[in-house]
Amino acid sequence: MKDKVSYWTIRRRSQSTVQSWSTNIPDEYGHDDVDEPLIRTESPIPPHGVSRVAATHADETNECGSAAPSPVQFSRSLMKQDTTYSDDDICLYDYDEEDGLKIHRFSDSESEDMVGCDSAENLSDQIAAWAISEKVKDTAVDKLLKLLKPHHPDLPVTSRTLKNTGYQAADIVNIAGGEYVHFGILNGMKHFENEILASFVDVIDYHVNVDGLPLFRSSGTQLWPILGKIVGLQCPFMIGVFCGPSKPSNVNEFLRSFIEEATVLKTSGFTLQGTAFRAQPVCFICDAPARALLKQTKSDTGYYGCDRCAEKGEYIQGRVTFPQLTADKRTDDLFANVAYEDHQLGRSPLIDLGFGMVSGFVLDYMHLVCLGIVRRLLHFWLRGALTVRLSARSVSLISQKLVSMRGSVPS
Ligand SMILES: [Zn+2]
């Protein structure tokens, strides 16, 4: 037994080896001509894009008059913590083509968290994280792995294998005329495990955003991400993403994985570190085309396009208007029974979630005010009838003032 070196001794030795290696790396392994980092964090869905879509769409402000719950379900300290999220904290996804397999992983913070973890298998994660942060060449990492291998038989032999640590094949399914990957609601929420555990709530409310974005000018390829965001936190996470030549041709297929998981999380719930939780979507935040797709209703420009009331629109000067002020309001119950024949094209699968299909689809500030009324007014002021149009001088004055304020307002 005397010869047997304890695990902790081996571990200490390897750590000091790693440390001395890292400080002794000559400049030839320098930082200028580094290979690709072992774990890339670039994403085909730029973090900023993800952030922009959800942060703006998931604006807390809504005019839905719905039962959307108070956002302050988490403690104040949590809200404060929350503001310190950087883009790096956003769930990033890496896509790569290796052997015909598309792979993805949750990025960065996970692997960084691994540093300091006590599990033996995390040594390779630690080396990977160290190699990335120090921008060590693959050849140098290979040499280090060779040195460590006798002490840690489980370590990979090459940096290439190390590179695959944490990667897993994503299930890409062909549905609704395109490809879909379901990353998972729970997977996304697990990035906020500490916040959830500190929140003292049993039921986690989350917002959902679905939107279609064109990918290229040259083709009609569209990306339809389903994003989630825990109420009270700012950072969104990816639930699933559809990519195809046009919008999902079948909303039942598009939403199937989401609805199945959302139903389980809502009814059976899940456990985090031994604590039981349930999670439920409390509102969907979408623009008008996405709303019509998800709710299976007629377009917002149709005669029965109003989400909130049953009034038939009037066609005036090239557009449908809704002049009545006292029309019957639509209700969740009638909608769930597909009673609005003029308005509903079919039965939305979201009804099965037990979700308020009228009250739960909020009408948000960004789409109604910023991109709606304000844009329309600008159009009138710049290109409208002469009676309301601003003079060229006024426009240039306003422009100058806006430019001078640029540094002081959010983009
Ligand atoms: Zn209306």
Neighbours of ion ligand 1 (CB under 5 A): 306, 308-309, 322
Per this entry, what is the length of the chain? Answer: 411
Q: Is the pTM of this model over 0.95?
A: no
CA of 328 to the centre of ligand 1 (A): 8
Closest CA to 156 of 35, 38, 314: 38
| pLDDT tens, N- to C-terminus, the chain (411 residues) | 445 566 666 667 766 666 665 555 444 443 333 333 333 333 333 333 333 333 333 333 333 333 333 333 343 333 333 333 333 333 333 333 333 333 333 323 333 333 333 444 578 778 888 887 888 888 888 888 888 888 888 888 877 777 664 445 568 888 888 999 999 999 899 888 888 888 888 899 999 999 988 888 888 889 999 999 999 888 999 999 999 998 899 999 999 999 999 999 999 988 888 888 999 999 999 988 899 999 999 888 888 888 888 888 889 888 888 888 888 899 999 999 988 988 999 999 999 888 889 999 988 888 889 888 999 999 999 998 889 999 999 999 999 998 999 888 876
What is the pLDDT at residue 23? Answer: 53
> Collapsing DSSP states into helix, strand and coil, what is residue 32?
coil
The neighbour count for residue 205, using CB atoms within 10 Å, is: 20
CA of 306 to the centre of ligand 1 (A): 5
Burial degree of 82 (CB within 10 A; 0-12, 13-18, 19+): middle
CA of 308 to the centre of ligand 1 (A): 5
Query: How many whole angstroms separate alpha carbon 337 and alpha carbon 351?
Result: 9
Dihedral Cα 352, 358, 359, 365, nearest 10 deg: 120
What is the pLDDT at residue 163? Answer: 67
Residue with tokens 């003292």: 200
What is the pLDDT at residue 11? Answer: 67
Which amino acid would we find at residue 399?
S
Integer CA distances (angstroms), 107 to 84, 88, 205, in order? 18, 9, 24
Per domain, the residue ranges of the chain are 7-33+108-166, 42-105+167-293, 366-408
What is the pLDDT at residue 131? Answer: 82
Cite the beta strand spans of 231-370 per DSSP E.
237-244, 270-272, 275-285, 314-316, 319-321
What is the pLDDT at residue 242? Answer: 93
CA of 208 to the centre of ligand 1 (A): 23
Which value, in Å, is the radius of gyration of the alpha carbons in the chain? Answer: 26
Query: How many whole angstroms separate alpha carbon 58 and alpha carbon 398?
Result: 29
Residue 184 tokens read as 């998972």
